[in-house]
Structure 1
């Protein structure tokens, strides 16, 4: 999700105060170690790509008895961390809090010039620490390119670039594959 640039020096907020803020304002904020960052609106391409990913994953998720949620679903990957990923796949039936998810198997961030550094550094490090996570996709909204971070069979994180006509395997959905054509349908042409 688009957000304002990370900055230091701001006053910190407790988790309880942050959660109260989220429940009472119409603006979403990410929370990182006491710092609160308002989320900016996203571009049409961003929204269409996120919707395409969600739509492409939904049939396989239903078959696998998993759920796919969009950017209004909060993720708590650590005690003092709360994000709003663009798409999450949830297969753990005990991850049942209606407001906050903690155990996704897939997280997708649609990246822009303003979010790319955070998506590729801060969030990559944080998301790799989620024990249930098997796949983290960073989807460019400006070019047909997806950075695929995945856990291999030994549990080691690997990275590859998906470009052109590539497909991406979604392991927790029974090996379902999503193509770059599906991700970028009606957004970016080859």
Structure 2
């Protein structure tokens, strides 16, 4: 006996999200609960956000962390990037101040359950956003950063970082950050217990 999958409209999802104890993403009719964040996940996202907040003060770029929802209309997706930047003013979806349309830079901290999705389908969805210029994927279990920067002709340049002795340059915003600062206070031994 098969169980029929229930599909939700975006309006139904948003109504549920307003009263839910835990956040969920919306994937073209399906509501997908988000996995719980680990202490390393939280530390990495916080480190990147705090650095960008400091470095980009008095510029046209504004960083946001965790709870700001993103609507990707082409693929009918609501998602919550770990860290994102908006250049200029946020463009709100349907006048909702909790849902934006125009990030130019997104950081995702990889977890075991979402790493493949973050690298493939989610990246494809993000690329449909006109303003989107740079995507950073950070491994929370060991030092490892994947950087995708948009170039001319809608191509994407890939760089990988696997040592904390280097710096990473976020090319779309011209900001350099030490990889050891990204991983400050991260204890990889904690990840083994997850």
C-alpha root-mean-square deviation of aligned residues, in Å? 1.9
Query: Any idea what the Cα deviations from partners look like across 1:126-170, whole Å, max 9, x if unmatched?
Result: 111111111111100001111101112454212111221332222
Report the equivalent of 2:91: 95
Distance 2:166 2:72 in 1: 29
Which of 26, 29, 38 in structure 2 is aligned with 1:34?
29
User: Which residue of the partner structure matches residue 115 of structure 1?
Assistant: 114
Alignment partners' CA distance in 2, 1:172 and 1:160: 14
Residues 94 and 186 (structure 1), Cα distance of their counterparts in 2 relative to 1, 3 Å cut: closer
CA–CA distance in structure 2, aligned partners of residues 160 and 56 of structure 1: 21
Q: State the match for 1:152 in structure 2.
A: 151
Structural mapping, 1:73-84, within 5 Å: 73-79=68-74, 80-84=76-80
Cα deviation for residue 94 of structure 1 reads 4.5
Q: What is the 5 A alignment of 1:1-190?
A: 10-79=5-74, 80-96=76-92, 97-164=96-163, 165-173=165-173, 175-188=174-187
Distance 1:113 1:40 in 2: 10
Determine if contact 1:143/1:188 at 8 Å carries over to the other structure.
no
In 1, the alpha carbon distance for the partners of 2:124 and 2:4 equals 22
TM normalised by structure 2 equals 0.86
CA distance in 2, matches of 1:172, 1:130: 15
CA radius of gyration, larger in: 2
Checking the alignment, whether the CA contact within 8 Å between 2:61 and 2:87 is kept in structure 1 is yes
Secondary structure of 2:160 counterpart = strand
If asked which structure has higher relative contact order (CA below 8 Å, sep 6+), I would say 1
Q: CA 1:151 to 1:47, structure 2 compared with 1: closer, same or farther past 3 Å? A: same
Alignment: residue pair count: 181
Partner in structure 2 of residue 4 of structure 1: none
Return the alpha-carbon distance in structure 2 between the equivalents of residues 118 and 186 of structure 1. Answer: 27
